[in-house]
Amino acid sequence: MSPVNGDRGHLLTEQANPASERLDELATPELIALFCANDLAPQQAVAAAAPMLAAAVEAIADRLGRGGRLFYLGAGTSGRLGVLDAAECPPTFCTPPELVQGVLAGGPAALLRSSEGLEDLAEAGVSDLQARGFGSQDCLVGIAAGGTTPYVLGGLRHAKDLGALAIALACVPADQAPMPCDLDIRLLTGPELVTGSTRLKAGTATKMALNILSTAVMVRLGKVYGNRMVDVAVTNSKLEDRALRILRDLAGVPREEASGLLQRAGGSVKLALLMAKADLDADAARHHLDRHGPSLRAALAAATLDGAQGGAALSLEE
């Protein structure tokens, strides 16, 4: 029997949870308490997958550092979570929109209106990747809570055939649902309180894992200094305030001076920090960053060396 029409009752995500056998009879406080207790499982599942997450971060960062891109592929909740994570990268890390992309079965319309029937089409996963120019230098994270989604499996096979990096992300053991991949991340959250509703624990664990993947990759790519998002895109008043506070704290300049630095740097916090600490104008700082970056720490180390050779030591205040 094919995976599309076969009995999936053996899958961990489809099994009934004994703790919720009388879910509909619980008083509301008991109902909420049960959900709170059950939602500890995603944290434990992600922690157990830490070694594989670390391997994925290193592999993705290496590819992106050499010009590749990262794609998330999924259907339903899994696909929507991928789209969400991809959409948050440009404002947080000032990445171009094409660097991290979420590909959802059914396209943008499926964000608002369910189109889960499309997940049964393996060829659709392939064609959606082809439409975006997915190539051998890129990375694919195929997200499928139950590990059997043809749309995702088709995309992963296509990635492997091309020689791209193929990463599987599922919430069932690999022996229950093998997936074609180079790296296999399994978040074993167990049966859901509402049987088969993987938007619950499985969805929470998936969101946590994607947060870790994208953020850690951006750290490796030099978009964070210490714990500050020095590549933040200053696109609204909240983010402008955050940028000014970063400049105040790390460069030791008052808010008014920080605002002027940010303007001269074209809104780039990283560039403004380098200008402040190395006493460079925007063009010179940009040239220095192009030469020694993208890591601000590496650029500052180079500036310190240059400054020491010229009689001035440079460093960010820690």
How do residues 236-293 score in pLDDT, each as one tens digit?
Answer: 999 999 999 999 999 999 999 999 999 999 999 999 999 998 888 999 899 999 898 7
Instruction: Check residue 302 and give its pLDDT.
Output: 87
Q: How far apart are CA 223 and CA 215, in angstroms?
A: 9
pLDDT, one tens digit per residue, over 139-155 is 999 999 999 999 999 99
**Residue 164: pLDDT band with limits 50, 70, 90:** very high
Do the beta carbons of residue 297 and residue 228 sit within 8 Å? no
**Residue 96 or residue 303, greater confidence:** 96
3-class DSSP state of 175: coil
Give the residue among 28, 11, 24, 7 at the shortest CA–CA distance from 188.
11
Omega of the bond leading into 90 within 30 degrees of 0 (cis): no
DSSP for 184-243 reads EEE----S-SSTT-TTTHHHHHHHHHHHHHHHHHHHHTT--BTTB-TT----SHHHHHHH
What is the distance between the alpha carbons of residues 141 and 168, in angstroms, rounded to a whole number? 6
Least confident of 12-21, 72-81, 112-121: 112-121
Residue 317 has pLDDT above 60, yes or no: no
164, two tokens: 């791209």
Which residues neighbour 198 within 8 Å (Cβ) at sequence distance 6 or greater?
A: 13, 77, 78, 145, 146, 171, 192
Task: Answer whether 0.85 is exceeded by the pTM.
Answer: yes
Tokens of 156: 């992963």
Question: Tokens in use for 288?
Answer: 């220095």
The token pair at 197 is: 């509703």
Strands 100-104 and 70-74, sheet pairing: parallel
Q: Count other Cβ atoms within 10 Å, centred on residue 217.
A: 26
Q: Distance between CA 70 and CA 98 in Å, rounded? A: 9
| C-alpha to C-alpha distance for 308 and 14, rounded to whole angstroms | 63
The residue among 171, 94, 174, 164 whose CA lies nearest residue 136 is 164
Distance CA 216, CA 52 (A): 13
Active site residues: 88, 119
Q: Which domains does the chain have, with CATH numbers?
A: 12-220 (3.40.50.10490), 237-310 (1.10.8.1080)
Among the listed residues 228, 220, 76, 50, the one whose alpha carbon sits nearest the alpha carbon of residue 139:
220
Q: Are 217 and 224 in contact (CB under 8 A)?
A: no
- Report whether 145 contacts 202 (CB < 8 A): yes
Q: What is the average per-residue pLDDT within 197-216?
A: 97
Residue type, 109: A
